[in-house]
Structure 1
Amino acid sequence: MRVTPWMEQQQFLYNITNIDNSMQNTQEQLSTGKTLNKASDNPLAVSEDMNLASEVQETSGYLSTISTGLTWMNNTSTALQGIISQLQEVQSDVVQALNSTNMSAGGQQGLADTVAQLIQGIYQTADQRQGNNYIFGGQASQTQPSTYLKKSPSDSPSPVPSGATSEMNYQIASGVSVSITVTASDIFLTAPGSSPNLQDTLNNIQSDLTAGNETGLQQDLSDLNANLTQVINLNADLGARIQRFTTAQNQLQQYSTNLTNEKGGIEGADMAQVITQFTTDQTVYTAALQMGAQILLPSLVNYLPNS
């Protein structure tokens, strides 16, 4: 078959176009650092890359939730430790009152006043907030817990609001939800075994100290020990949840790193290879133009770029 000048021109243009497209793709990889810049580059790899991007985004969402939950629980644990410390001081004062058989009326009243201040401090700690939310409020996090707790024997607290006994759960993985809260109801309104709840125990202590009721104080001390053990157990349970969140956070961070590395391996360009390819394409392009100038009509070559 006879090769005509027209056929040579068409073949030349076809080759030049392919080389030019290759140079453009390589140049785009140089500028973006990625091999996947549009879906047509590698449809299968692009699909896999998008799936990985979705997983990275989902993992990032869980990590953000866990971080928020850890902040909330750590603040709760700090407040609980404050309550425990103050309850232990109340416990010590009750023991002192029971062992001071010859205490004057003034000394007895002073001890009662000291315990009253400690109890007010306990309720003040129960009102601690994170942002605009009360950390012991449960799902009723906008309601101040001390408003529905009886802070002294003469108090008439408000009814416990809906949601005050309900915990807030955070989803830390697909299908896995964990409570981040300890509620004021758990601490003050839940009775341990046959003992009165902490709210009633504290009020009984105030009344019995003021009245010098030694028999009542003996029972109050027993009740306070049970209440204190309950609060310590609440803090221990919270500590276990903090540990669970921390473990999940570490695992998700490692998983996110692995996903990101895998994603980078799919879409990331080998810059040394890309630079070599671009240099090769430039050389081939220049050589093709020079060869074309020799075998084609000058009138055609005059209209082609020569760089």
Structure 2
Amino acid sequence: MEQQQFLYNLENINTSMQNVQEQLSTGKVLNLPQDDPVAVSQDMDLAQEISQMGSDLSTISSGLSWMNATETALQGMLSQLQQIQSDLVAALNTPNQSAGGLAGYAATIRQLIQGVYQIADQKLGDRYLFGGQAWNVAPSSYIEGSATMPSGADQNVAYQIAPGVSINVTVTAYSIFESTPTGAVNLQTTLNNIVNHLESGDVTSLQGDLNDLNLNLTNVIDANADLGARIQRMTAAQNQMQQYQTNLTNLKGGIEGADMAQVMTQFSTDQVIYEAALQMGAQILLPSLVNYLPS
């Protein structure tokens, strides 16, 4: 009985040393499900939540890249349109403007308009920034050209950044060029009218074109402001998720992480106990009948 009890205790001490040694090598207290079933379940739930949070943050990062590129393009477009506005005002305010002078303004503004359409065709990767859901079709092909607008070109792309939460990340060329402000024609028609009236010398109609351009400029400025608001919302969501992910990671580390100082102390203590048990066992265990057999 003494031998059986001794071997049982020795095996327990040895098992404890092995567990502590595994904690030392992995830095974790949870290495097997049986170590702590409740804690292991909590740890797995946290790992799944952290993984989902990482996926959401990746989506947000992709959306912000798209929106920031779109904002830069919109600001370039606004700059070109404001230059067109400035040239048109100069043409109207120059007294006794000759047909040749108006034609010169027409040539300059035509180049600026081409620059506007080039910006509308900017890409991020292989996708057109202002293409909406028709991301693979150049917007100028149906805005400036005579091609039929493809399906989805007037619809925004929304990214889901959390369960039940989606944010539009696009500004469509349709909303810029085809959307008609109250009291004006759309931007595409306005730009065409400006060039035509300059080339024909129709100064009277140019004043109406300037009014239309001012209203369309306001429309583009509003679109840019709305995009900026969405960027702020997306950035705020990103910051909140990063903080939450950090908190979850710290909580997970607190559940599964080992206190290395305590583990090392426990390992040293187990070693001393194991060696003492071996020495004591050698002294107290009774000799067997074999010891009395003649040699």
Cα distance in 1, alignment partners of residues 124 and 215 from structure 2: 29
Stretches of structure 1 that go unaligned for 5 or more consecutive residues are 1-6, 151-155, 300-307
1:169 and 2:187 matched: no
Question: Displacement of 1:119 after TM fit?
Answer: 0.1
* 1:289 and 2:278 are equivalent in the alignment: yes
Match of 2:146 in 1: 157
- SS of the residue corresponding to residue 159 of structure 2 reads strand
Query: How far apart in 2 are the matches of 1:142 and 1:25?
Result: 58
Deviation, 1:141, is 0.3
Residue 112 of structure 1, aligned match among 87, 106, 115: 106
Q: CA deviation at 1:225?
A: 0.3
Percent identity among equivalent residues?
A: 65
Tell me whether 287-296 or 259-268 shows the greater mean CA deviation: 287-296
* Structure 1 residue 157: Cα displacement: 1.5
* Aligned with 2:142 (options 139, 142, 148): 148
Structure 2's unaligned 5+ residue stretches are 289-295
Distance 1:117 1:298, change over 3 A: farther
Which residue number corresponds to residue 203 of structure 1? 192
Alpha-carbon displacement from aligned partner over 1:10-33 (angstroms, at most 9, x marks no partner): 111110110011001000000000
Query: Residue 91 in 1 paired to residue 85 in 2?
Result: yes
Matched residue, 2:34: 40
The match for 2:57 is 63
Question: RMSD between aligned alpha carbons?
Answer: 1.1
Deviates more, 1:54-63 or 1:95-104: 95-104
TM-score normalised by length of structure 1:
0.92
Moved beyond 6 Å, runs of 4+? none
Correspondence for 1:50 among 29, 44, 60: 44
Aligned length: 288
Compute the displacement of 1:296 (Å).
2.5
Q: Displacement of 1:297 after TM fit?
A: 5.5
Query: Offset of 1:105 from its aligned partner?
Result: 3.1
| SS of aligned partner of 1:172 | strand
TM score, norm. by length of structure 2? 0.96
Counterpart-to-counterpart distance in 1, 2:88 and 2:282: 107
Secondary structure of the 1:140 match is: coil
Match of 2:167, SS state, is: strand
Look up the equivalent residue of 2:154 and give its one-letter code: T
